[in-house]
Amino acid sequence: MNFLEILTLSFRSVRANIIRTVITCCIIGFGIMALVGILTSVDGLKGYLSESFSSMGAGTFKIRNKNLGFSLDADEDVAQKVYRSISYFEAVQFKNKINNQYPTSLQYIGGQGSIVKSGTTKTNPNILVLGSDENYLQNESYTLLQGRNFNETDMKFGSNVVILGYTVAKKLFGKSYAIEGRIVHIDNVKFNVIGVLNEKGSSFITTDNIVVIPLTKARQLYAQSNPSYVISVKGDNPENLQPAVDAATLAMRNVRKLRPGEEINFDILKSDSISGMFVEKMSYATMAGFVIGIITLMGAAIGLMNIMLVSVTERTKEIGTLKAIGASNKTIRLQFLLEAIVICQLGGLLGILLGIIAGNAVSLSVGGTFIIPWIWMLVGISFCFIVGLISGIYPAFKASQLDPIEALRYE
């Protein structure tokens, strides 16, 4: 018998035991679903995180007090070290030095649980009140749906003017509105609405639940004893921020009066570096998903081997008949081995389909995109082949060693 005939015979045997085949395929399928599903969801979350952090602003980086530097690996010694805050004077001095070359925005958090009212309509107490300047919108990749940006007069005199986030405006004014003459109260202080931001979409770090007021007004209304300002700098080349980072680092060292060789006491954060830290940590989730999938497949391999051994016992007379008409030990081994591999591959295809559905369900539920995990699909198929090979070797060898006469007499 040639290979094609043996393969055809294997398929025929698989179809003849359809219930057993379905149960075995389900065992294999759940193992592959665990592998593909978990890894697909992790890949979806990675893409979501990268997209979320990129919304901080293309080609933009932030300078902030080192106490506030974002780190996922800070040990206790680093966490206990206190660095001097970036003062308003230092932030303004820095902006004066570099703003002509690189647009610079100063940012001051006024309130993080504020209420905004318009007439009898008000928001939930979850609005971020941010004090900033004329460069905030371009540095943070916001665009205006209506109205205008801050002007020099607004910034100089700390005018009671506000730019509303998309969600805030929609909550207060409904779906269709015009902002001319609109007045809102932010924490019971009256502001004239001069602009509404386009929707940016909720993500890991960005939100439309925001109102932006002039920096000078924010400092006046939300005074803090020792605030630290965040500085946003937009480079002239989004693909290569290093020249802008170097210039900003030098300017900030001068402003902070750091001597040559002295450790910098501020952090420079780029969106890609932050997302990179998260993606690096997500690799542990990938490893965990991989291990879980392998363990599940090991259980499936044991189950498949047990089923194949039972199949050998039940088909002893069939094996004897095949040997009696001239089938060699090699042919018998290959037939049972192919049966195990075919069952595994069918289970693998089922598992890949279920894994893609489950993994993308998790990804889409947190705002990620639909992805087709070609690599993990290939990994799943490969593992199914290995599992089928391992599970089928011993039953195939046992079947091939049966004595044809004794097999024919088997009842």
pLDDT tens for each residue of 166-176? 999 999 998 88
Residue 271 included in any domain:
no
**What does the pLDDT read at residue 76?**
46
Instruction: Reply yes or no on whether the pLDDT at 251 is more than 90.
Output: yes
Lowest mean pLDDT among 41-45, 343-347, 380-384: 41-45
Instruction: Reply yes or no on whether the pLDDT at 22 is more than 90.
Output: no
Query: Is there a single domain that holds both residue 130 and residue 225?
Result: yes
Where residue 54 falls among pLDDT bands split at 50, 70, 90? low
Residue 75 included in any domain:
no
Strands 104-114 and 144-147: unpaired
Residue 62 included in any domain:
no
Instruction: Count structural domains, the chain.
Output: 2
Query: Is there a single domain that holds both residue 135 and residue 27?
Result: no
Query: Is there a single domain that holds both residue 230 and residue 347?
Result: no
Query: Is there a single domain that holds both residue 17 and residue 165?
Result: no
**What does the pLDDT read at residue 369?**
74
Query: Is there a single domain that holds both residue 196 and residue 338?
Result: no
pLDDT average, residue stretch 130-141: 91
* Nearest-angstrom CA–CA distance, 365 and 383: 29
Query: Is there a single domain that holds both residue 102 and residue 222?
Result: yes
Domain boundary among 216, 231, 264: 264
Query: Is there a single domain that holds both residue 40 and residue 98?
Result: no
Residue 311 included in any domain:
yes
**What does the pLDDT read at residue 409?**
60
Where residue 380 falls among pLDDT bands split at 50, 70, 90? confident
Query: Is there a single domain that holds both residue 248 and residue 291?
Result: no
pTM of this structure: 0.60
Lowest mean pLDDT among 37-41, 119-123, 278-282, 375-379: 278-282
Where residue 58 falls among pLDDT bands split at 50, 70, 90? low
Over residues 303-316, the pLDDT tens digits come to 777 777 777 777 67
Query: Is there a single domain that holds both residue 225 and residue 335?
Result: no
pLDDT average, residue stretch 235-257: 86
The percent of residues in the chain predicted with pLDDT above 70, rounded, is 84
Residue found by looking up tokens 């960005």 in the block: 206
Domain that holds residue 138: 84-264
**What does the pLDDT read at residue 131?**
94
Query: Is there a single domain that holds both residue 212 and residue 292?
Result: no
Residue 61 included in any domain:
no
Lowest mean pLDDT among 141-145, 274-278, 377-381: 274-278
- Candidate ranges 29-38, 281-290, 362-371; pick with highest mean pLDDT: 29-38
Query: Is there a single domain that holds both residue 22 and residue 120?
Result: no
Q: Which residue has the higher pLDDT, 278 or 351?
A: 351
Structure tokens at 203: 């993500």
Where residue 50 falls among pLDDT bands split at 50, 70, 90? low
How many CA within 13 A on the CB side of residue 63?
32
Where residue 239 falls among pLDDT bands split at 50, 70, 90? low
Residue 72 included in any domain:
no
pLDDT average, residue stretch 167-188: 91
